[in-house]
Amino acid sequence: MKIEISRPRVVKILGLDSRGKDDLVWCSLSMEVSRLFWIDGLLICMEVPEKSFDYEYEDGIYVVSQLCYAEYPKYNRFEDVGRGIQIPVVNVKGMRVFESIAKTIRESERHLEVEKEEP
pTM, two decimals, is: 0.85
Model confidence pLDDT, tens digit, residues 24-81:
999 999 998 999 999 999 999 998 877 666 666 678 888 899 999 999 999 999 999 8
Model confidence pLDDT, tens digit, residues 21-36:
999 999 999 998 999 9
45 phi-psi bin (left φ>0, alpha ψ -120 to 50, beta other) = beta
CA 29 – CA 86 distance, rounded (Å): 9
